[in-house]
Amino acid sequence: MKLTKIILYEEPTVQEIQISKISSFISDMFSIEVEHRKNFLSHADERIFENISNTRILDLKNQFKKYFPTEEDIQIEKENRDTSNEKEIALYDGFEMQKTFAEFIPVDEKTDNILHVVFTNKTTCTFDQDDYRYHARALIASNPAIISTTGMIEAPAKPKQYYLDLMTCFSESEVKEINEKYKGQFLKQHDSRLHKIAEGYLIQGIMYYETGEAFCKDRECRLFNAHWQKDLFYCQIEKRSFCKEHAKILDELNN
């Protein structure tokens, strides 16, 4: 393995995931040192808040343009306020955010053998050249990697029929009814299942760093790139295992 150490950073607003448990899970799996740090932002200086604000997306249908934040926006970042439940969810460009985090990693820790992973509940998105718009992402791989809980909730699609049912809703009570009907079929904020799913994305981030490939085509494998919530539950909660090929690669990495 290229890696000798992984540092997991936690934003205080990410509550559904117990990073200390994830930390021991990963050190058992890869037998390398895993360090858990409470807050990425507390290691940086004041500029980081403005720089993170700068990565907000203004226009979903156009490539990234630098956002000039208001004092209020910067304050939101400083206080690490949870904006994920607000009406207008702030969206961030994942690659721009990654660059921002990279700037604040101490020089002596910017080495190939250390992977930095930031857990956030900010909604990270990437611009897709195929359909010319932004899409939410749960994992922004590379180093530092970003894993977003809101990305896990928003990126893989909910059942098709759910969207169709919603289109025929005319009142808030009807929307409530529909949400009740599909309860449990997709992730929500503060969902306890986020923890196990985060493990899967972290393994994908580590695999990407080690092999250049994060995903697998096999739905039975934890590296499966799930486009549907039901597939995410299947590979990360029900199966929790690897396909033959990836089990072998994992074995080789550990030897």
CB of 215 within 8 A of CB of 138? no
CB of 218 to Zn ion, least distance (A): 5
Q: Which residues bind Zn ion (CB under 5 A)?
A: 216, 218, 221, 223, 243, 246
CB of 9 to Zn ion, least distance (A): 27
CB of 158 to Zn ion, least distance (A): 25
Residues 6+ apart with CB under 8 A from 171: none
Q: Is 124 helix (H, G, I), strand (E, B) or coil?
A: strand
Residue 160 to residues 166, 182, 229, 230, Cα–Cα distance (Å) = 10, 11, 11, 11
**In the block, which residue shows the tokens 């910067």?**
74
Q: Toward Zn ion, which CB reaches closer, 156 or 200?
A: 200
CB of 139 to Zn ion, least distance (A): 16
CB of 3 to Zn ion, least distance (A): 20
- Say how far apart CA 97 and CA 34 lie, in whole Å: 23
CB of 222 to Zn ion, least distance (A): 7
Q: Toward Zn ion, which CB reaches closer, 179 or 225?
A: 225
Q: Toward Zn ion, which CB reaches closer, 104 or 215?
A: 215
CB of 202 within 8 A of CB of 117? yes
Q: Toward Zn ion, which CB reaches closer, 139 or 153?
A: 139
Q: Toward Zn ion, which CB reaches closer, 101 or 242?
A: 242
Q: Toward Zn ion, which CB reaches closer, 82 or 218?
A: 218
Burial class of residue 193 in the structure, from the number of CB atoms within 10 Å of its CB (0-12 exposed, 13-18 middle, 19+ buried): middle
> What is the side-by-side order of every strand in the sheet holding 123-128?
91-93, 123-128, 133-136
